[in-house]
Amino acid sequence: MHYRTLHFMKREKHRLSREDSALFESMKGRYVSENEAEFFRKMQHKEEQEITGLNELLVSEYENDDEIYLVREYYEEYLVGHGIGTDGAEEEHVMTLSDALSLNLKELGFIDRDLTLLEWLRESGYRYVNYDRNYDLKRGSQEL
């Protein structure tokens, strides 16, 4: 096994930001669906255990009519954007999932409906979220 891969796999648990720690705790038992429960469980695990230097595309603009995308960077930084081929011209960079979920997509000019990212995810039943696009993990598994 490659040393870098071994080192990557044995990382200690990342300490969550105060905001995301409060978010995950406040959501427990208040999920509106099983898909929402899965989202918060998996996102907490990702933030604590899965660093991503190459970014993790959680929601692709190519897979929803609103052309919304959500990208996780490192442990708990996020890009929320809009548009195919905008090359980052229409995106917001935030430091926590809590901040990402509270972004108002209409105020940002991304959609015509008055929804936060959390409300948009709920409206879609979380069907656009793909938990298997952490490119660091894919690259690391190829080295095994």
User: 29-33, 79-83, 131-135: lowest mean pLDDT where?
Assistant: 131-135
The domain total for the chain is: 1
- As a whole-number percent, the residues of the chain with pLDDT over 70 amount to 87
| pLDDT for 62 | 96
- As a whole-number percent, the residues of the chain with pLDDT over 90 amount to 75
Across the beta sheet with 91-94, what order do the strands follow?
A: 52-59, 68-74, 77-82, 91-94
Q: From residue 119, how far is each of 81, 103, 108, 116 by CA, in Å?
A: 15, 10, 15, 5
Query: Coil, helix or strand for 40?
Result: helix
Q: Which domain holds residue 126?
A: 3-143
